[in-house]
Amino acid sequence: MESVTPAGPSATLYQRIRRDIEANILSGLWPPGYRVPFEHELVEIYACSRMTVNKVMTDLATAGLIERKRRAGSVVARPRAQQALLSIPDLKAEVEGRGARYGYELLYRERRAARRADADRLGVQPRSPILALRCRHRTDGRPFALEDRLLNLSEIPEAEREDFSVVPPNTWLVGYVPWTGAEHSISACHADAEAAALLEIEPGHACLSLERRTWRGNGSVTAVTMLHPGHLYRLFARFTP
């Protein structure tokens, strides 16, 4: 028996229709493939105009809950590929948000012409000007992130005037450079001798590696690899349709 809530002044007609249909789908009463009532049937059920139920159905289709086809009607969609929203906050804000003390050091800074490896990582022409940085982030004194970053000076020449000895590159970038696209790759790896020394862990320790490339329009802005000791950092993602 499908649920049709009685008319009430508490919600709009749109909300009531949408809530009813969503309830029927999410409860499993209408399984994937089930044919949702036609618009004209809903018009009769709710005694309203077609525009109102059309908006509900169009929005449900946008949300991915149903699929619509002309002439055939609408059916409950089978759940999509699982996706989750991954939050990638500013490390400083994240650490301080947990009440811990945040520490930052610039370990290395070099302006240079892009080598082949740099060019591949950043997606620029070899020999174009870049800024290479290596930084260490601490929480309550313990290293918890090693940052290897390349900045494309052709796209953001302002970066050359910033020395990054006090302001972390990510904080500076978020504040000054708008970006239009980013790509992340998350994997697990072993710390090599150099990284282990800098993170103050034993060589071979499991680490979470987060690589990110960021674009503005067609131009590559920055490429970064963040290495976190596995026991000190985890990423969270959440999804609610």
Identify the residue among 3, 5, 27, 58 touching DNA (CB under 7 A). 58
Which of 4, 14, 100, 232 is close enough to bind DNA by CB under 7 A? 14
DSSP letter (8 states) at residue 157: G
Verify binding: residue 74, DNA, rule CB under 7 A: yes
**What is the bridge-based pairing of β-strands 102-113 and 181-190?**
unpaired
Using the rule CB under 8 A, is 198 a contact of a second copy? Answer: no
Rounded Cα–Cα distance for residues 144 and 17 (Å): 50
Q: Is 70 one of the binding residues for DNA (CB under 7 A)?
A: yes
Q: How far is the CB of 42 from DNA (least distance, A)?
A: 8
User: Does 38 contact DNA by CB under 7 A?
Assistant: yes
Give the Cα separation of 91 and 146 in Å (integer): 12
CB nearer to DNA: pick between 22 and 211: 22
Q: Does 187 participate in binding a second copy (rule CB under 8 A)? A: yes
Q: Residue 135 to residues 107, 138, 167: CA-CA distances in angstroms?
A: 5, 10, 11
Q: Return the amino acid letter for 162.
A: E
51 or 188: CB nearest DNA = 51
Q: What are phi and psi of 231, to 5 degrees?
A: -85, -5
Which uninterrupted H or E stretch holds 9? Answer: none
User: Which residues lie across from 207 on neighbouring strands?
Assistant: 189, 229
Cβ 42 to a second copy shortest distance, Å: 19
Gap between the Cα atoms of 183 and 221, Å rounded: 12
Binding segment toward a second copy, per CB under 8 A, in 112-120, 129-137, 143-151, 187-195: 187-195
Judged by beta carbon distances under 5 to 8 A according to partner kind, the member of DNA, a second copy, none in contact with residue 57 is DNA
**Under the criterion CB under 7 A, does residue 54 sit at the interface with DNA?**
yes
Confirm or reject binding of residue 103 to a second copy (CB under 8 A). no
Residue 228 contact among DNA, a second copy, none, beta carbon within 5 to 8 Å by kind? a second copy
Best CA proximity match to 154, nearest among 183, 135, 171, 129: 129
Measured distance CA(25)–CA(36) in Å, rounded = 9
Does residue number 22 form part of the binding site for DNA (CB under 7 A)? no
Helix (H, G, I), strand (E, B) or coil at 88: coil
Q: Which residues bind DNA (CB under 7 A)?
A: 12-15, 36, 38-40, 47-52, 54, 57-58, 61, 68-74
